[in-house]
Amino acid sequence: MNIPNVNFPNVNHLIHAYRVAPWRVQRQWIGNALLAVVVFAMVAALYLNVTSRTAIAGREIQDLTDAIASSQQVSSDMQTQLASLTSASAMEKRAREMGFRPVQPEELEYLVVPGYVAPEAVDLSSTIQPQLNALTIPPEYNQSLLDWMDERLVSRSIQ
């Protein structure tokens, strides 16, 4: 088998020709452009994804806030219903139906109970910490990327 006589200068020429071939330059331009498009699309998709997720999170917070308000309304409603069922007239009616009657003063017997402390009036203090009026959703959940950039630019210009 004969080995071809390699002419190195010719090879270099071919490589150079390959590198500067017009179609290759075009492909490079197209590739770079496509890369830019892909990067832009990725950033856009990421932005869209984050924005939509924050919007959904914000909506969920609103829904939960609505649910809390609704639950409080229902709680107040049920408390009022309970008060109606145990109103003075309702309790007296039930007591009479069960055979009770108002006690007469002469029927009362007062006993001395050591250590007994007469009950004071009601105390409606709650152990639940009061809810502050300040907004508590962090800006990450209600601020878009553009809002954030805008805020940064404004704060920088103020500095």
- For residue 50, count other CB atoms closer than 10 A to its CB: 13
Residues that bind another protein (CB under 8 A): 54-55, 57-59, 61-62, 65-66, 69-70, 72-74, 76-77, 79-84, 86-89, 92, 103, 105-106, 108, 110, 112, 118, 121-133, 135-137, 141-142, 144
Nearer to another protein, 28 or 87 (CB): 87
Shortest distance (Å) from residue 51 CB to another protein: 8
Shortest distance (Å) from residue 121 CB to another protein: 4
Shortest distance (Å) from residue 119 CB to another protein: 8
User: Do residues 142 and 60 lie in contact, with contact meaning Cβ atoms separated by under 8 Å?
Assistant: no
Shortest distance (Å) from residue 5 CB to another protein: 35
User: Do residues 116 and 33 lie in contact, with contact meaning Cβ atoms separated by under 8 Å?
Assistant: no
Nearer to another protein, 20 or 128 (CB): 128
CA distances from 73 to 54, 65, 76, 78, 151 (A): 28, 12, 5, 9, 38
Nearer to another protein, 66 or 151 (CB): 66
* CA dihedral of residues 46, 47, 53, 59 (deg, nearest 10): -170
Nearer to another protein, 2 or 125 (CB): 125
Measured distance CA(44)–CA(53) in Å, rounded:
14
